[in-house]
Amino acid sequence: MAEANQNVKVAEARFRQARALIGFFRAGLFPLVTAGAGASSLRDSPNAPFGSSRDKASTRDFLLTGDVSYEIDLWGRIRRSVTAAREEAQATAADLETAILSLQAELAMDYFEFRSADAQQRLLNDTVTAFEEALQLTINRFEGGIAPKSDVAQAQTQLDTTRVQATDIAVQRAQFEHAIAVLIGKPPAEFSLPPAPLDLQPPDIPAGLPSELLERRPDIAAAERRVAEANEQIGIAKAAYFPTVTLSALFGFESSSFRNLGGWQSFLWAVGSSVAQTVFDGGRRRANSEAALANYDATVASYHEATLDAFQQVEDNLAALRILEQEAEQQKRAVVSAKESLQLFTNRYIGGVDTYLQVITAQTTALTNERNDVDILRRRMDAACS
């Protein structure tokens, strides 16, 4: 499932890119070896000043060389670059895990929304059936001369309104079904799920869980690794103040004839070293160091903010689970009371004691409480998977 999601593919590609950069910077710890070959021919003009008196004076040169250069990492610039790249790779690995975890959480939430819509759909369909029976009751009473025409109109309005709500739920269900299809990397037109009302219960959350969750959160790990990377960038910026020491060597063969190019008489070599120090750069190194320090401070602040946000998210969801559990118990009692009230008002209406308006009010209250009961369960499941 995760492999088919496009956001996860992006995060995985970023991780491979960061891992490849480790090898790029690590290559600076080793000598750079290049090889070259060349051939040239030169003919002097006989009419040139001090030129050859021969009509066709020419020279040939064949050259085969190898060059080795090596920067001595006295100040740790290359080593810090490798370490920084390694820290970034670890951070992007955590980003990949964050993308997968976010995908799973979003998929779970969309699934709960989808099943909640199924539960709402079943509830509304059952309610439509009950309201059809109530409409028939008012028609029978009207035809028997017991109830006024207004009772029939009220019952018909209540039934039509509920039918609209039942139809509207189908739109929400389709949207969440399409969202699930996209998350798993499938075209919405090729994906469908059979109806099944939400009937799960949130898992029990043990004490002390917030700290354990934070230890496992990949987004916190990514932020911490980027702090370490920013620290290495400070060292890289400071290394620019010191001279660069390079060792180099050249070896090869040179001859005017290709036949004796490989002979020892044609062998050539050169070795040397160089030290380069920037004398004046108009404040570029100082600005780069200040930028690295500022980036480090910003990264540390982002790390602290990410940690605080994570604590808040965990505590918010734990509080939601605790409070919604109490609310769910209260709501179930309210549903039972609303159903009893509806039955009482219906009986009183049949007995001619109350008007149908009382029944309408009780029906609306009962339906609202039942729908709210389903929604509370959906919110509890969302809080458990966030």
At 318 the pLDDT is 85
Poorest-confidence range of 82-86, 137-141, 261-265, 352-356?
261-265
CB atoms under 10 Å from CB of 206, counted, come to: 7
CA distance 51 to 67: 35
pLDDT for residue 42 is more than 80: no
- Topology, domain 2-30+76-242+283-385: Outer membrane efflux proteins (OEP) (1.20.1600)
pLDDT for residue 51 is more than 60: no
Q: Is the pTM of this model over 0.75?
A: yes
The domains of the chain are located at 2-30+76-242+283-385, 31-72+244-276
At 111 the pLDDT is 94
Please state, for a pLDDT cut of 90, what percent of the chain lies above it.
70
At 210 the pLDDT is 60
Mean pLDDT to the nearest integer, 369-385: 93
Over residues 158-205, the pLDDT tens digits come to 999 999 999 999 999 999 999 999 988 889 999 999 999 988 888 777
> What confidence tier does 213 reach under pLDDT thresholds 50, 70, 90?
low
At 340 the pLDDT is 96
At 161 the pLDDT is 95
CA distances from 226 to 17, 183, 221 (A): 16, 28, 9
At 98 the pLDDT is 92
User: Does the fold of domain 31-72+244-276 match that of domain 2-30+76-242+283-385?
Assistant: no
Please state, for a pLDDT cut of 70, what percent of the chain lies above it.
94
Over residues 74-128, the pLDDT tens digits come to 999 999 999 999 999 999 999 999 999 899 999 999 999 999 999 999 999 999 9
Output the average pLDDT for the chain: 90
> What confidence tier does 49 reach under pLDDT thresholds 50, 70, 90?
low
At 258 the pLDDT is 76
User: Where is pLDDT greater, at 301 or 58?
Assistant: 301
Over residues 226-240, the pLDDT tens digits come to 999 999 999 999 999
As a CATH number, domain 31-72+244-276 is 2.20.200.10
Over residues 305-334, the pLDDT tens digits come to 999 998 888 888 888 988 999 999 999 999
Mean pLDDT to the nearest integer, 280-306: 95
Mean pLDDT to the nearest integer, 348-368: 93
